[in-house]
């Protein structure tokens, strides 16, 4: 309908019609207004959007997307912009479809243990809403004790679905895809599709699985039906210190092999402990340890205590130099807040860092940690490790000083070497942050050309014009 228009004219027409359809205040196009949309949580990459639109409903989202499609304008979905892979950055320009106004919890149905939400609902709002009913949405991207607004209190369900996000509790509850019962999505041409509903199983191809983790490259998520689960009465935290980093890695497998089912298993190495203990979130973590494991179990009061005692015993038998069972909720809160603050606290041990996100089979944890350390050391850089150990999701933080020429590049290189090692150890180049823009060149390390072609063919079925979040995932 509009292919004859120049890009500039097409954009002007888009803005005019978008304002008619969504209202004046639902369209931003002023240069200054657009500045904040140039980046997401990934500071290394920028892109200029032509406009941002703020639909309030499925219908408005569909109208905005159809309009952009008809003018051949790229479409980039955006929740809260906390992506750490450049996923929400409009690197090829285009229109950003923000879900900031699609922020309603539509229904809570405890008989079916589901909640229906709009895509822009903030992850933690669901938990705040459900708390008084004794229920929770188990994907918490932060830590329930955190005193600060981490990504859990900022990121949206739509963004979580697009990245198939995980969190501390995913060892027990799974990742985002395991919580989804239904999706309402807007296809690139503006058509709406409703997939699944409240039921557990669906017939035919698993389209929810396909769309989850597709990083906004196939369709936009407008609404979702998510699983909710009862909250346990009691949680107990166990903190174990180790004099050897590799031993801490091995102890993770030993705990799991014992049949225990912790909710969370997090590892912090010496440098990560030093960072948090140097700042305002110091929680009395043992600075002399080479690594600590923080484990949380849940259940009825006696059940949780028994489980904690069992886990503590396994840790002692597997090289822990000291184990503390923390029952005092205030102390536990402090410890988990310290864990949560580890990324931010890195400033106390180095001016800049690159954070990577790769996974490995749990049994290879010790090996992967040694590789990460060595990748930094051979470039004269320190690497801190703080990560979801239970599901083998590494987050090495490679410290560098951008004032020293070439250090940033070395840090990026070390990160890539670590991710390549993750693949060689049988893991992946991303556990939860997505491929986005930052890791697309590593995709061929994981897949052969034929497999990447298969994925591209699927993209073409959904998005024949290549308008959805262009420049992401594929090298």
Ligand X SMILES: Cc1cc2nc3c(=O)[nH]c(=O)nc-3n(C[C@H](O)[C@H](O)[C@H](O)COP(=O)(O)OP(=O)(O)OC[C@H]3O[C@@H](n4cnc5c(N)ncnc54)[C@H](O)[C@@H]3O)c2cc1C
Q: Is 430 in the site for ligand X (CB under 6 A)?
A: no
Q: Is 429 in the site for ligand X (CB under 6 A)?
A: no
For ligand X, which stretch binds (CB under 6 A), given 28-36, 165-173, 246-254, 265-273?
165-173
Q: Among 171, 145, 139, which Cα is nearest to 157's?
A: 139
Q: Is 79 in the site for ligand X (CB under 6 A)?
A: yes
Q: Is 158 in the site for ligand X (CB under 6 A)?
A: yes
Beta carbons of 69 and 467 less than 8 angstroms apart: yes
Q: Which is nearer to ligand X, 304 or 468 (CB)?
A: 468
Q: Which is nearer to ligand X, 433 or 439 (CB)?
A: 433
Q: Which is nearer to ligand X, 123 or 237 (CB)?
A: 123
Binding mask 254-293 for ligand X (x = CB under 6 A): ----------------------------------------
Closest distance of CB 169 from ligand X, Å = 10
Q: Is 428 in the site for ligand X (CB under 6 A)?
A: no
Which of 74, 138, 159, 182 lies at the binding interface for ligand X (CB under 6 A)? 159
Closest distance of CB 52 from ligand X, Å = 12
Q: Is 215 in the site for ligand X (CB under 6 A)?
A: yes
Closest distance of CB 351 from ligand X, Å = 18
| Lookup result for tokens 């930052």 | 438
Which of 162, 285, 371, 438 lies at the binding interface for ligand X (CB under 6 A)? 162
Q: How far is it, in rounded angstroms, from Cα 357 to Cα 429?
A: 7
Q: Is 77 in the site for ligand X (CB under 6 A)?
A: yes
Closest distance of CB 432 from ligand X, Å = 3
Q: Which is nearer to ligand X, 81 or 286 (CB)?
A: 81
Which of 55, 68, 82, 341 lies at the binding interface for ligand X (CB under 6 A)? 82
Q: Which is nearer to ligand X, 99 or 359 (CB)?
A: 99
Which of 432, 435, 438, 470 lies at the binding interface for ligand X (CB under 6 A)? 432
Q: Which is nearer to ligand X, 269 or 307 (CB)?
A: 269
Closest distance of CB 213 from ligand X, Å = 10
Q: How far is it, in rounded angstroms, from Cα 22 to Cα 71?
A: 17
Q: How far is it, in rounded angstroms, from Cα 278 to Cα 149?
A: 20
Q: Is 221 in the site for ligand X (CB under 6 A)?
A: yes
Identify residues 88-147 at the interface with ligand X (CB under 6 A).
Answer: 88, 99, 119, 141
Which of 220, 245, 315, 421 lies at the binding interface for ligand X (CB under 6 A)? 220
What residues line the site for ligand X (CB under 6 A)?
40-41, 76-84, 87-88, 99, 119, 141, 150-151, 155-156, 158-160, 162-163, 165-167, 215-216, 220-221, 432-433, 469
């Amino acid at each position: 309908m509009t292919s004859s228009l120049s890009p500039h004219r097409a954009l002007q027409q888009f803005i005019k019609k978008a304002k008619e359809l969504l209202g004046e205040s639902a369209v931003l196009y002023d240069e200054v207004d657009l500045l904040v949309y140039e980046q997401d949580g990934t500071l290394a990459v920028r892109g200029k959007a032509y406009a941002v639109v703020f639909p309030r409903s499925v219908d408005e989202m569909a109208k905005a997307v159809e309009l952009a499609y008809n003018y051949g304008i790229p479409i980039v979905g955006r929740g809260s912009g906390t992506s750490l892979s450049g996923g929400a950055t409009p690197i090829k320009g285009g229109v950003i479809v923000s879900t900031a106004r699609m922020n309603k919890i539509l229904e809570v149905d405890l008989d079916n243990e589901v909640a229906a939400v709009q895509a822009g609902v903030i992850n933690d709002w669901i938990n705040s809403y459900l708390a008084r009913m004794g229920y929770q949405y188990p994907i918490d991207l932060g830590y329930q004790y955190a005193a600060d607004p981490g990504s859990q209190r900022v990121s949206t369900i739509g963004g979580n679905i697009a990245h198939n996000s995980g969190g501390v509790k995913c060892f027990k509850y799974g990742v985002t895809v395991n919580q989804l019962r239904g999706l309402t999505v807007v296809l690139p041409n503006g058509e709406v599709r409703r997939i699944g509903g409240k039921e557990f199983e669906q017939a035919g191809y698993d389209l929810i699985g396909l769309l989850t983790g597709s990083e906004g490259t196939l369709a936009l998520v407008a609404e979702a039906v998510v699983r909710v689960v009862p909250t346990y009465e009691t949680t107990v935290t166990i903190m174990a210190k180790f004099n050897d980093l590799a031993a801490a890695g091995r102890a993770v497998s030993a705990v799991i092999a014992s049949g225990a089912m912790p909710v969370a298993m997090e590892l912090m190495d010496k440098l990560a402990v030093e960072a948090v203990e140097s700042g305002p979130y110091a929680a009395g973590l043992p600075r002399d340890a080479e690594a600590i494991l923080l484990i949380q179990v849940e259940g009825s009061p006696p059940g949780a205590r028994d489980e904690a005692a069992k886990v503590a015993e396994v840790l002692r038998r597997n090289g822990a130099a000291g184990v503390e069972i923390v029952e005092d909720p205030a102390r536990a809160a402090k410890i988990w807040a310290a864990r949560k603050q580890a990324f931010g606290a890195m400033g106390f041990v180095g001016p800049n860092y690159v954070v990577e996100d790769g996974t490995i089979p749990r049994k290879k944890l010790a090996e992967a940690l040694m590789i990460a350390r060595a990748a930094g050391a051979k470039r004269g850089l320190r690497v801190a490790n703080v990560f979801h150990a239970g599901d083998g999701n590494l987050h090495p933080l490679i410290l560098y000083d951008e004032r020293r020429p070439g250090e940033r590049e070395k840090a990026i290189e070390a990160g890539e070497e670590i991710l390549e090692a993750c693949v060689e150890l049988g893991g992946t180049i991303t556990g939860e942050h997505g491929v986005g823009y930052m890791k697309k060149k590593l995709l061929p390390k994981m897949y052969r050309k034929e497999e990447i072609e298969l994925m591209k063919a699927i993209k073409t079925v959904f998005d024949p014009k290549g308008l959805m979040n262009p420049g992401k995932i594929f090298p």
